[in-house]
Structure 1
Amino acid sequence: MARSERLLSLLQVLRRHRRPVSGATLAAELGVSIRTLYRDIATLQAQGADIEGEPGVGYVLRPGFMLPPLMFLQGELEALMLGFRWVEKFADAPVTKAATDALAKISAVLPAELREELENTALLVGPRKIVDSETVDLALLRAAIRRERKLRLSYADAAGAVTERIVWPVALGYFEDTRILVAWCERRQAYRHFRTDRMLGLTLLEARPPRRRAAMLKEWRESEPGPRRPAAPPPDAISQP
C-alpha cells in the first residue's frame, strides 16, 4: 500500500472511533508496525489533523478535520463520479446544480493526476427515460422533509380525481421513470406513495408531525414487503389515494 493510501486509511480508522484507540489496535488493523504507525500519526499531525493521544494511552481524531488534497483512492473517485453522473441525469435542476457545484469543489483541491482520473472515469449512466413534468417545486418537498414540517397536498390520482390531504413527508425517491414522495397520510392513517408529477399544489405548514422523521422512516422501511426498496412501486399502487 502506498504511503498516501495508508495515511488516508489511518484517518478513516480514527474516524470510526469516538474514543481513544490504542496504537497496537491501529497498527494491527492497518497491517503495519507500531513504529510505522507512530510515524504516520506524526505526519498527519504535522499536516493539521487534530489527533490527540500518546503511546500507551491511545489516539482519537477530534471532529472538524478536513482532508488535505491527498486524495481519494481510484475506486472512491469512480464511485463519486458515477454518483454525480446519475444525479445529473435523474435529479431535478436544483439538486443537479448542487451536485455540479460539489464536484467542482472536490476537483479544485485534487492533485492534477487525481483530477484527470476523476474527469476521465469510464463509468457511465444510461439514458434518461423521463422528462421533468412536475408543476410543484421539489425544493419545497425537500425543505419539508429536512425541517420536519407537515404539507398540505393537492393530488390527482390516475383517473384524474383530485383530493386534498395533510401529509407528513418522510422521504423523496428518485427513480428512472418517476419521483415519489413517501409520506404518512392523515386522511388514510397510513403510509402512502405520491408521484410528484401528479401533485397539483403544495403548502408548507408550520405544524410538525408528532413523530420524528427518522422514526417514521424506520417504521416505513419495516412495513415494506420484500427486498429493501429495490425499485419504484408499480403505477397502480402509486396512484392509490
Structure 2
Amino acid sequence: MRRADRLFLIIHALRGRRSAMPARALAETLAVSLRTVYRDVADLQLSGVPIEGEAGVGYVLRKGSDIPPLMFNVDELEALVVGTRFVRAFGGERLGLGAKTALLKIEAVLPPELRERSRRTRIFAPESPHRIEASGVIDRLHAAIEARRPLQLDYRDKDERITVRVVEPLCLAFWGGAWTLGAWCRLRVGFRNFRPDRMAAIAELDEIFPDAPERGLEAYMAAVGGASSL
C-alpha cells in the first residue's frame, strides 16, 4: 500500500469516532507494524491534521475537524466535481475510473454540507457509448505515449485516402469536439497532428522510440503552431 493511501485511510478510520482508536487496531486494519502507525500519525500531526492522543492510549480526530488540504470553498469544490465529470465523459476509460475514485475519496472526508453541495452542481458532461472515448482508442493512444511505443497507423485524410504512417506518439489534446494525437511522423520526418477518428487501424510496434530532444514533447510544443492538422 502506498504511504499516501495509508495516511488517507488513517484519517478516514478516525473520522466520526467518539472514543480513541488504539494504535494496534489501526495497525491491524492497515496490515502494518505499530511503529509504522506511530510514525504516520506523528507525520499527520506535524502537517496540521488535528489528531489527538498518543501511543499506548489511542487516537481520535478532533470533532468538527477536517484535513486542511481538503477544506475547499464552494467554487473550488464545484470545479473539482465538474472537472471529474468531464474526465469521466471524455478522458477514456482509465482516467475516467481514476476520476471517479478520486471524487469518492474527496467526498469521504468532506463535511456533510459540502458533500451535499458537491452533489447539487448543475453542470453535467453526459457519457455516451457512441463517442470515441468509449471505444478504447484514447486509452490505447495514452498507453503508447506513456510507454514510448511507436504506432503504425492506417490513416484516412480528408479525401478518405489511406496512407500508412509510423509515428512516435507524444501527447493527446482535446479540442471540445475532437481529439488530436501530437506525434513525430517518420514518413514526413516532422511533427504532425492526427485525429483518432480518422485512424482506420492502429498497431503498436515492438520497440521503444528514443527520448530525443529534437523530436520530443518540448520540441513539438514549440513547433505546434506550424504543425499540419491532418
Specify the TM-score bucket, using the shorter chain as the normaliser: 0.5 to 0.7
Alpha-carbon RMSD: 3.5
Name the CA shift for 1:121/1:214 in 2 (closer, same or farther; >3 Å).
Answer: farther
Q: Deviations over 1:51-93 (max 9, x none)?
A: 9xxxxxxxxxxxxxxx568522333212212211222333334
Question: Which amino acid is 1:219 matched to?
Answer: A
Name the CA shift for 1:101/1:129 in 2 (closer, same or farther; >3 Å).
Answer: closer
**TM-score, length of structure 2 as denominator length:** 0.61
**TM-score, length of structure 1 as denominator length:** 0.59
Which residue of structure 2 lines up, in the alignment, with residue 151 of structure 1? 151
Which residue of structure 2 lines up, in the alignment, with residue 199 of structure 1? 199
Name the CA shift for 1:108/1:50 in 2 (closer, same or farther; >3 Å).
Answer: closer
Which residue of structure 2 lines up, in the alignment, with residue 84 of structure 1? 84
Q: How many residues end up aligned between the 2 structures?
A: 171
Question: Which amino acid is 2:175 matched to?
Answer: F
Alignment map for 1:179-190 (pairs within 5 Å): 179-190=179-190
User: Distance between the aligned counterparts of 1:147 and 1:178, measured in 2?
Assistant: 23
Name the CA shift for 1:46/1:111 in 2 (closer, same or farther; >3 Å).
Answer: farther
Contact 1:181 1:195 in 2 (8 A): yes
Q: Deviations over 1:123-155 (max 9, x none)?
A: x25789995147663211111111222112221
Alignment map for 1:1-241 (pairs within 5 Å): 47-49=44-46, 70-122=70-122, 124=123, 131-133=130-132, 137-211=137-211, 216-225=216-225, 237-239=228-230
5+ residue gaps, structure 2: 1-40, 49-66
Question: Which amino acid is 1:224 matched to?
Answer: V
Name the CA shift for 1:152/1:136 in 2 (closer, same or farther; >3 Å).
Answer: farther
Q: CA deviation at 1:156?
A: 1.2
Q: CA deviation at 1:192?
A: 0.7
User: Distance between the aligned counterparts of 2:215 and 2:115, measured in 1?
Assistant: 40
Contact 1:70 1:110 in 2 (8 A): yes
Q: CA deviation at 1:205?
A: 2.3
User: Distance between the aligned counterparts of 1:109 and 1:216, measured in 2?
Assistant: 40
5+ residue gaps, structure 1: 1-43, 52-66, 227-232
